Amino acid sequence: MQIVKLPKQNLDKFIKSLSKFGQIYAPIKKDANTSLFSKIEDSSQIDLGYNRTLLPPKKYFLPPIDTMFKFSAEAGYEEMEHDLNEKSILLGVHSCDIHGLRILDLVFSGRYVDNYYFTGRKNTSIIGVSCIPDDMCFCRSMGTDFVENGFDLFLSDIDQSYLVRIATSLGDDMVRASQSLFKEVGKEEIEEHKKKSNEMQKHFKIDLELYNLPEILDLEYESKTWEEIGEKCLSCGSCSMVCPTCYCYDVFDELSLDGKTGERKRRWDSCLFKDYALVAGGTNFRSERSARVKNRYFHKHRGFVAQYGKPSCVGCGRCIQSCPAKINIVEVITKIRSDAYV
Amino acid sequence: MSKPKIGIFGMTGCAGEQIVILNCEDELMDILKVLDIRSFHTAMSKNDEKCNLDIAFVEGALVQPEEEISLKEIRKRSRLLIALGTCAVWGGVAAMKNEVSRQRLKDIVYGSPGRIFKSIPAQPLHSFVKVDFSISGCPIEKEQFLQAVASLVHGDIPVLPKYAVCTECKINENTCLLLEKSELCLGPITVAGCNARCANCGIPCSGCRGPVEEANIASEVEILKEKGFTLGDINNQLRTFAGPAEAIQTHLAKR
Ligand code: SF4
Ligand code: SF4
Ligand code: SF4
Ligand code: SF4
Ligand code: SF4
C-alpha cells in the first residue's frame, strides 16, 4: 500500500477537493460532550480529533427509521427511489467503526442480500482517521485497533501532518486529484509514526480477554451474574442504539387514513426490549430482563462467533458510555470469566 | 363498509387531547371521511347521546363520582374504548397528590366553596372500566393519534412503540442529560412516542407519557440517588404524571 504525507495546513484544501468525489459526511462537535457524524456543508465544522461519535456511521446505511417501499390496493408495491449515482464520502472514521461496518457488510450480504443497506453502502467511500483511546475503548482486545481493509484512504495523525495510506484505486484518484498537496514520507515521519503507534498503546485502560470466551459463556449460562445485571438494566435500549454492530430491526406498516395505501418501514430494534421476543399467541421466550441482557452478550460473544468466526463487538466503548445503569461489557465479561475459574 | 361510529369524550383533564385532534387541521377532512363522529362536545353542537358506538375515545381522569357513571355509560355504548392521554391512561397530574386526603386538598385549593362538591382520588379509566387500547401523552402526539385511527379503521388494534424515551433520544444523538449533566431525567423509564421532545431541547424528561411496561423504577431511583437527588425529589417527579401506575405505587409503598 502506498503511503504519502499530507501536511496539516493542506488538510482543508484536500477536503475541499474531495467534494468532487461526493457529499462529505464527517464528525462535528454538537456540544462540549457530544460528537456526531453529520453532512458537511462547511469544512471548518469538521473535527477529526474527536473521541467517539454518539451514533456510529451505521446510521447512514441502516437508518434508525427507513421506508422500504410504498404499497396501495391498486398499484401494488412501489420501491423507493434511490439515486444510484449519488456518491458519498464518510470522512474521519475510526478503525473500530470501519470494523463495525465490515461486520454489518457480512451480516447483510448473507443468503438474502439486504439491498436497502447496500444501496448507500456501495456508493460511499471511507476515509479513516487514527485516534487516541480513552478509558472506555477496548478495541485492542478485539483486534480492531487497526484496519487493513474496508477504507479508501486512512489518515494517521503525526502532529504536523497525516500519513495517508492509499488502499484503493478510488483513494488513489482522490490523492491524484490534488497531488500537489501531498509530499513524500521522510525518515523523520516514519520515526514519528512509530512513536505515535507505541504511545497509542499506552492509553488503553481496559482489556477484555477473548480466549475461550464462547465456551466459558456456555458454561456460565446459568450464572447469577445475569440476574444481577438484569436487576440493574432498565431495558432503555441505549446500548443497542449506539452499537456499531447491532443490526436488529423491526418491520411495521404505516397506513394512510383511508386504509388503502401505506408505507412499509423498518426501525432499529433491540433484544433488550420487552417485546423483542414476543411472538404470535402472546408467548415471550425472553420475558425476563436478565434473559434479555444475557442475550446481548451471548449474541455478540458466542452466537456471532459460532456463525462468523469472530465476535460482533469492536470495543468502541459506546455502550459503556451510554448505559444509565453503568452496565459495562468489559466488567460483565471479566466477572463471568472469573466466575468460571472459581 | 360503513364508517365506524365514534365519540370523543372528556372526563377531568385539560381537554389537551381534544385540542390535539382539532389541531389535525390538514387531516380533519380525511378523518371525517373515515369516521362518523356522533359525539364530540368540545367541537360540535349536535351530539347523539344514546346511539351505539364502534369506538369511544376518552380523555381525562376520574375525580368526581358522577364521572364513573358517565364513563360506564360510554363503555356500555361502545364496542371499543380507547384511553386518550396520560390522565386517562395513568391518572395524570390530577393524581399527583392522591396520598393527601381529598378534603384537605379541597380546603387548600377551593376553601369553603370546596364543601359543595364531591371529589375522589384521581384515577385512570382502567380502574373503572375495561380499556381496549391506550394512547398516552400529555398531550398525545398527533401522529400517534392519526396512526391509531388508520389502524382502527383498517380493523387492526394499533401498534405503538413500547420502548423508552432514551431509545428515541439516542437516535436523535442528544447529549445525555442524566449521564453527562446529572439532571433528573425519567427517559429510561418513560414510554417513547414523543421523539424525545424535551431532551431534544435540552430539558430532562419529566415522564409525561407514563412508565414503560415493566419499568425498572428501583434501578432508576438508585441512579438518581447516586446523582445526588433526594428520595423526596425523585418521588415527586415520579408522582407528577403517573402516580397511580402500579410500578410507581410499589416503589412508593416501599419506604
Ligand atoms: S458492544 Fe459496546 S463496545 Fe462492543 S461494539 Fe457494541 S457499543 Fe461498541
Ligand atoms: S440481538 Fe441484540 S445484541 Fe444482537 S444485534 Fe440484535 S440488538 Fe444487538
Ligand atoms: S443501556 Fe444499560 S440499562 Fe439500557 S438497555 Fe442497555 S444494558 Fe440495559
Ligand atoms: S437525556 Fe434522558 S431520555 Fe435522553 S438518553 Fe439521557 S436519560 Fe435517556
Ligand atoms: S420527553 Fe418526556 S416529558 Fe417530554 S414529552 Fe416526551 S415523555 Fe413527555
Which CATH number characterizes residue B98's domain?
Answer: 3.40.50.700
Residues A250 and A291 in one domain: yes
Which residue has a Cα nearest atom 8 of ligand 2?
A246
- A241 shares its domain with A178: no
Q: Looking at A76-85, A312-321, B48-57, B242-251, which range is the least confident one? A: A76-85
pLDDT on residue A339? 67
C-beta atoms of A31 and B175 within 8 A: yes
Could you tell me which residue, B93 or A340, shows the higher pLDDT? B93
Residue contacts between A and B (CB atoms, under 8 Å): 117
Query: Residue B118: CB partners within 8 Å, gap ≥ 6?
Result: B64, B65
Question: Which residue type sits at A218?
Answer: D
Q: Is A73 helix (H, G, I), strand (E, B) or coil?
A: coil
Q: If pLDDT is split at 50, 70 and 90, which confidence band does B248 have?
A: very high
Mean pLDDT, chain B, rounded, equals 96
Q: Are residues A46 and A181 in the same domain?
A: yes
Domain membership of residue A58 as a residue range: 2-203
Same domain, B135 and B180: no
B73 touches chain A (CB under 8 A): no
Which ranges constitute the DSSP H helices of A123-186? Answer: 139-142, 169-176
Q: Is residue B255 over pLDDT 80?
A: no
Cβ–Cβ of A257/B27 closer than 8 Å? yes
Chosen domain end from B153, B188, B218: B153
Alpha helices by DSSP H, listed for B115-215, are: 142-153, 165-171, 197-200
Single out the residue in A203, A225, A244 at which a domain terminates: A203
Q: Which atom of ligand 4 is nearest to the CA of B190?
A: 3
Mutation choice for B interface testing from A52, A236, A322 by most B CBs within 10 A: A236
Q: What percent of chain A has pLDDT over 70?
A: 99
What whole-number distance in Å separates Cα of residue B228 and Cα of residue A43? 41
What distance in angstroms lies between residue B230's CA and the mean position of ligand 4's atoms? 19
pLDDT exceeds cutoff 70 at A32: yes
Residue A96 has pLDDT above 90, yes or no: yes
Please name which ligand lies nearest the alpha carbon of B179: 4
Measured in degrees and rounded to the nearest 5, phi and psi for residue B199 equal -60, -30
Q: What is the pLDDT of residue A5?
A: 98
Nearest to B211 by CA among B254, B184, B244, B169: B244
Per-residue pLDDT tens digits for B195-220: 999 999 999 999 999 999 999 999 99
Amino acid at the residue B151 = S
* Rounded distance between C-alpha atoms, residue A294 and residue B164, angstroms: 19
Q: Which atom of ligand 1 is nearest to the CA of A320?
A: 2
Q: Is B83 helix (H, G, I), strand (E, B) or coil?
A: strand
Percent of chain B with pLDDT over 90: 95
Q: What is the pLDDT of residues A200-234, one digit of tens each?
A: 999 999 999 999 999 999 999 999 999 999 999 99
The C-alpha atoms of residue B126 and residue B137 are separated, in whole angstroms, by 16
Q: What is the pLDDT of residue A341?
A: 47
Compute, in angstroms, the gap from residue B216 CA to the centroid of ligand 4: 15
Q: Is residue B160 part of a domain?
A: no
* C-alpha distances in Å from residue A205, one per residue of A328, B158, B214: 14, 48, 35
Domain ends where: B153, B182, B217? B153
Q: Which of A164, A180, A203 is the last residue of a domain?
A: A203
Which residue among A242, A275, A326 sits closest to B170, beta carbon to beta carbon?
Answer: A242
Return the closest-CA partner of residue B150 out of A69, A71, A66, A261: A261
Q: Is residue B108 part of a domain?
A: yes
Contacts of B164 in chain A (CB under 8 A): 234-237
Does ligand 1 have an atom closer than 6 angstroms to the CB of A272? no
- The answer to whether residue A260 scores a pLDDT higher than 90 is no
What pLDDT was estimated at residue A323?
98
In A, which residues are within 8 Å of B31 by CB distance?
A: 257
E strand or H helix that includes residue B24:
none
- In contact, A17 and A10? CB cutoff 8 Å: no
Of all helices (H) and strands (E), which one includes residue A46? none
Residue A342 has pLDDT above 70, yes or no: no
Element (H, E) at A268: strand A261-268
Claim to verify: residue A151 and residue A239 sit in the same structural domain: no
Q: Which residue from B31, B146, B219 is facing A234, i.e. has the nearest CB? A: B219
Chain A residues near residue B170 by CB distance under 8 angstroms: 54-55, 237-238, 241-242, 322
For residue A235, the chain B residues in CB contact (below 8 A) are 163-164, 212, 214, 216
- Chain A residues with CB inside 8 Å of B216's CB? 231-235, 289
B141 touches chain A (CB under 8 A): no
**B191: Cβ–Cβ under 8 A, 6 or more apart, which residues?**
B136, B161, B162, B163, B164, B165, B209, B210, B211, B212, B213
Distance CA A184, CA A198 (A): 23
